[in-house]
Each structure stands twice: as C-alpha cells, then as structure tokens.
Amino acid sequence: MWNYPELLAWIEVWFASAAGGWIEPRIGLAWTGALAALGLVSYGQWRGIGIDAVLAAVLAYALVSLPLVDAHAALAGYADLWLAAVFGLAVLAWLRWLRRGGIGQLILALAFALCLPLIKLEGAVWLLILSVVGVFAALPSRWRWKLAAVAALLVVVGLGLGGFVFPMLGLGWVGIQWGEVVVPALGAIDLRWRPGGLAMLAGLFTLPNWHLLWYLAPALVAWRWRQLIIDPASARVATMLLVCLAFLCVLFFFTDAAAWAENHTSANRLVLHFVPAVFSLLALLLAPVVDERS
C-alpha cells in the first residue's frame, strides 16, 4: 500500500547501509534482534517490578519459544513481530511505572506507544486502546464511571444523528455510523454478523502456533482472580487485553476480516500483536499476591 507506515522500511535501509548494501541475510538479522530484545527486555522489566528471577526467566523463554513468534523472527520483512515487541515493551514500561513510579518509565511507555502506528496500520488501534485504558485508569475512581457514561452517551447521540468522526494517529479521521466504519486508508467497512470468525477461536486451541498458551492463560486467570481485585496494575493490564480481544471479536465476527480467520494466517498475526502483553499479565498473576492498598 502506498500509504503504509514507513518506520520498518527505514530500519531496513539503516541496516542495509551498515551492511554495505542490500544483503538479505544481514538485514534479516534485525528480526532476530527484535526477538532477542523482546525476551531480554521482558525479563529485565519483570525483574524490575519484583518478579522472581526463575519465574521471569521461564516466562521469557516461553514467550520467545512460541512457534508463531519464532516463525515471524524468520520471516524478515513482516512487521508483526516488531509491532508485538513494541506493544509489549510499551505495556511493560507502563506496568513498571504503575508499580514503581519514575517519570523515565512513563516517557518510555509513551515513546513505544507512539511508535505503534508508525509500524503497521493496526498499531493505531492498539495505541488508541492503550491510551484510553491508561487515561481511564489514571483518573480518580469517582470520575471513571462518570467519564464512561458521558462517552457512551456521546456515542449513542452521535450514531442517532447519523454518525460522527474522530482522529486516530496513523489512520486519519475515522468515521462511524450505524452499520459502517470509514477508515481513510481502508475505505468503508460494512458491519454485520459473519460466522466465519469462529475459525479464529478454533485456531487458538487446535493449531500448534501457541503451544498450550490459550489453555493455560484462562485457567490461570480463573485460579488467580483475586490478584485482579487487589492489584491495580494487574487489573489495568487485564482490562487493556480484554478491550483488545473485544476489538478482534468485532473485526472477525462483524467485518470482511472473517475471511482472514478462515485461513488462520492473518488472524494469528493479529493475535500475535498482544501476546507479549499477555505474558506480562501471566507474570503478575503467577507472582505472590500483592495488596497495594495495605
């Protein structure tokens, strides 16, 4: 696409200039470096928020050994691993700021988050979700539900008046009306029920892309649900991931993207984007329960 984000292409050009020419094996090392950076930074940030060294090492290994993650490390040219890494590192920095404070971590989280729409168009959606959840969580509790109610009312009124538009970094002015979403880079997207999205859910549990991740993650959430109640950081990461999942459900059950789910390829690539953040939630849930209110 002529209007596709250019950041990753410039990174490739930078590697090519360092290699002395367009030498594919050397340029492809950037993807191996992205995988290594994801594992090392995840370990370091988990340790920084108090996760045990053994647990952090096991989770880091589990993350970088997922079959689909390794496949994308070998698929030099695809941006999905980079988007997953940058999204995961933004969440890690945000999480460390929530737990330990420090303006540096907040700046780092903002820097990584702002890079998301510069890598892939989908990054604009992840940036919006991360921003909304982050701002909502930062508000005093007495204002959160008031703000949510006002936002819901504005959406209902806007749809009743024929639709509304709002800006999204990387996508431009997105228009929403009943049964249709208009994205400048993609055109009009028809919203209606499509059963093909069931293939996406089946792929998470039947294909060998994820080992046992999607069996273990829900079981762990059910087992350690108390952590989500007493630890605000865990609750905020879980909320952000729940909104990401809701977006994918809308995408695969109510748009033409249902066709992507049927061949599993594109569906798994989109799920990959927030898998590192899922591991951060697992790290929080597996760590000893912390009651930050005491």
Q: pLDDT digits over 217-254, tens only?
A: 999 999 998 888 888 899 999 999 999 999 988 888 88
pLDDT average, residue stretch 144-172:
84
How many CB atoms neighbour CB 207 within 10 A? 13
* Whole-number pLDDT of residue 2: 55
Total-model pTM: 0.90
CB contact at 8 A, 116 and 127: yes
**Tell me, what DSSP letter sits at residue 289?**
P
Q: pLDDT digits over 68-98, tens only?
A: 999 999 887 889 999 999 999 999 999 999 9
DSSP string, 223-262: HTHHHHHH-HHHHHHHHHHHHHHHHHHHHHHHSTTHHHHH
Place of tokens 């492809």: 28
- The closest alpha carbon to 43, from 29, 54, 34, belongs to 54
What is the Cα–Cα distance from 133 to 90, expressed in whole angstroms? 13
Place of tokens 């024929």: 162
